[in-house]
Structure 1
Amino acid sequence: MPDAKWRVALLIFNGAWASTVYGSLELFHSANLRQAKNRQFHCDLISADRTAVQLYGGQSIHGDVVIGEAPYDLIMLAHYWGDFEQLTKQYPGIPPWLAKQHANGARIAGINSGIFWAAEAGLLNGGRATTYWRHLREFEQRYPNVQWQANQASVEHAGIYSSNGQNASLDLSMHLLEKFCGPSIAASLARDISFDSRRTYDVNLINIAGFRQHRDVGIHRAQDWLDEHFKQSVELQLLAKQIGMSRRTFIRRFQEATGELPSRYLQRLRVEAAKHRLGNTDDSIKTIGMGVGYRDISSFSKVFKSITDVTPREFRSRLRPAGIRNISKAD
């Protein structure tokens, strides 16, 4: 057994993008360097057999190990570019191996089109996922029992993670680092590589994915709308009417499906977006609060603490030591 806390397998196969293999590998290695006395990750490049794998860029490499009985805590599925049907015929052993690993507790992360392996293994039936836009229609036709989320950067379902672009794949890797190692190491790495400072989408959605584990299509539609418009003023009466429900029915069904009132779900969306900005920008707390939908800093701080148990200022201080901060005096 490797002298590390977590075992990670990075699956390689013909057509895999090297950047989505080595990018994740180097992040895990960087996490190890931060805790040299307590190594977090043992990483294997894993392949279906002992033959060389030709990556998308033309390089040929061999896996460190071949898929088998050894258990893993996390399996990363590389983005690919190629003939999907051909790959399934070339590597018939990968889907059943993934299914067994997942049944034994492994988390699985499909980077962009890499998620097709999880879908092929039947692990996403009745669940949700996203993927690279170029493959979305193909996957919708091949896996109609999966709710493909075209507009979400990252999605989690039952321990299976997916992303829909190169930037989103880095976000996904960082999110997994936080899951396994905690926010301190993840934040330290994010600072060192100037990570996530100019995102144009909201990466907070992955952190509330648990509220999507239901099959109420009407409430999913409402969540889709809230996910996109949470920065705006929201009238529940109008939202309920938009999806064809009375206000009372909407609130009842929303709470039954998610376990939260729609107003609280909206607060969580806003707080997750604020957490992201607190950790990755020097914007003032007032600016951040107004930017996620609050009219004054008092209301923002009260809601933030009710969800996180700390104030926005305390949250930022934990993630960003004073020596590296350049926060506006407006704080």
Structure 2
Amino acid sequence: MKHLTILVPVGQNNLSSIVGPYKIFDRANTYHQQSGKQKIFQIELVGTRSQVDFYNGLFTVNPQKYISDIHKTDLIIIPSLNHNFEEAVFGNEDLISWLRKQYKLGAEIASICTGAFLLAASGVLDGKHCSTHWAAAENFNKKFPKVHLKADQLITDENGIYTNGGAYSFLNLVIYLVEKFYDRETAIYCSKVFQIDVARNMQSEFSIFNGHKKHDDEVIHEAQSYLEENFREKISIQTLAKNLNMDRRNFDRRFKKATDFTPLEYLQRIKVEAAKKSFENTRLNINEVMYDVGYNDAKAFREIFNRITGISPVDYRAKYNYFFSTK
């Protein structure tokens, strides 16, 4: 039987990403046994303290073992750190060292949402791809430049490392792991019991583009402000670069270094974010929204919107429009 370690770090408060994996893997074990097969995992909650409080002491978790008791495990799940991810990195040094050691010993590791910060702090993500909550992507990129962040991906799987996007999308990761370690039949059973969509693989449609401005390049801040204030107009990136006393190549390089996007990519995301808000809150049709955000080519608008959000303008409007949902 394999060993599954569900970590309970200190300084974090997302209880659902501890309870959820425990319940789903426990159900997968039960289903396997009822099918005449052996349990796959012994499941244990493991931490560095005998008790960890959540939501200002409203709930508590009592880990079954300390990390020092676990000399070798097969699969480790790191829960979400919610909004305390940076603090948790500094408060869990022993756990981070333990993660590094266990990976070298052959353990596979799955991080949920901002749990990727703990995993990245161990160094095992260097040179690999990972995902995390879209709202934490900018901070993650700045803190861990050696990691290839794929913030639009719901799940990544590389060399025994699994990561996923934000919030309750961890359910999709857990079903993915159930299929990987049990079988397809068990994964489908669990997806039906817990009503989890097994087909989801992107988190792009849920993201909100607020602009990447946590940098010190004032010229690029000026360029960002210009793009945000004038995105409905016909903008020449070449002219914008010239007005900022830069050639186009240097402008693109400097802009991408500061924001992780080229100027054109940044402009496209501003336009798509404005389109999303219109689809959500107005009665405008697809073409009206397209023209309003500065596009004249329906095919180009549809392709860019789909690439950034993972869903078509028509489907997005039908899914999120307030007026449709209240009919």
TM-score by length of 1: 0.56
Instruction: Provide, for residues 227-270 of structure 1, a one-character-per-residue CA deviation record: whole Å limited to 9, x for no partner.
Output: xxxxxxxxxxxxxxxxxxxxxxxxxxxxxxxxxxxxxxxxxxxx
Give the structure 1 partner of residue 4 of structure 2: 8
Mapping of 1:22-171 within 5 angstroms? 22-36=19-33, 38-50=38-50, 52-56=51-55, 58-68=58-68, 69-171=70-172
Give 3-state SS (helix, strand or coil) of 1:42's partner: strand
* Contact persistence 2:129–2:149 (CA under 8 A): yes
* Cα offset, 1:133, TM superposition: 1.6
2:52 counterpart letter in structure 1 = V
Structure 1 CA distance, aligned partners of 2:136 and 2:202? 20
> Could you give the per-residue CA deviations for residues 101-130 of structure 1, whole angstroms, max 9, x where no partner exists?
111111100000011111000001111101
- What CA distance in whole angstroms lies between the structure 2 residues aligned with 1:83 and 1:173? 22
Q: C-alpha displacement at 1:202, in angstroms?
A: 8.3
* 2:24 is the alignment partner of 1:19: no
Q: Aligned letter for 1:189?
A: C
Structure 2 CA distance for aligned equivalents of residues 202 and 86 of structure 1: 25
> Does structure 2 conserve the Cα–Cα contact (< 8 Å) formed by 1:127 and 1:146?
yes
Residues 137, 178 of structure 1: CA spacing in aligned structure 2 closer, same or farther, 3 A cutoff?
A: same
Give the 3 Å change call, closer, same or farther, for CA 122–201 of structure 1 in structure 2.
closer
Judge conservation of contact 1:11–1:75 (CA < 8 Å) in 2: yes
CA contact (8 A) 1:10 1:46 kept: yes
Q: Is the 8 A contact 1:74 1:109 kept in 2?
A: yes
- What SS is found at the alignment partner of 2:162? strand
Q: 1:202 to 1:63 in 2, by over 3 A?
A: closer
Could you tell me how far 1:23 is from its partner in structure 2? Answer: 0.6
Q: May I ask how many residue pairs the two structures share in their alignment?
A: 198
Preserved contact between residue 49 and residue 67 of structure 1 (Cα < 8 Å): no
Counterpart of 1:192 in structure 2 is 193
- Of all paired residues, the percent bearing the same amino acid is 26
TM-score (norm 2): 0.57
Task: Give the superposed CA RMSD.
Answer: 2.1
Determine if contact 2:85/2:114 at 8 Å carries over to the other structure.
Answer: no
SS in structure 2 opposite 1:139?
helix
In the alignment, is the contact (CA less than 8 A) between 1:10 and 1:21 conserved in 2? yes
Gaps of 5+ in 2: 205-327
Gaps of 5+ in 1: 204-331
Deviation at 1:185, TM superposition (A): 1.0
How far did 1:200 drift? 8.2
Give the secondary structure class of the aligned counterpart of 1:49: coil
In the alignment, the residues of structure 1 paired with residue 114 and residue 195 of structure 2 have an alpha-carbon distance, to the nearest angstrom, of 26
Partner Cα separation in structure 2 for residue 56 and residue 15 of structure 1 = 9
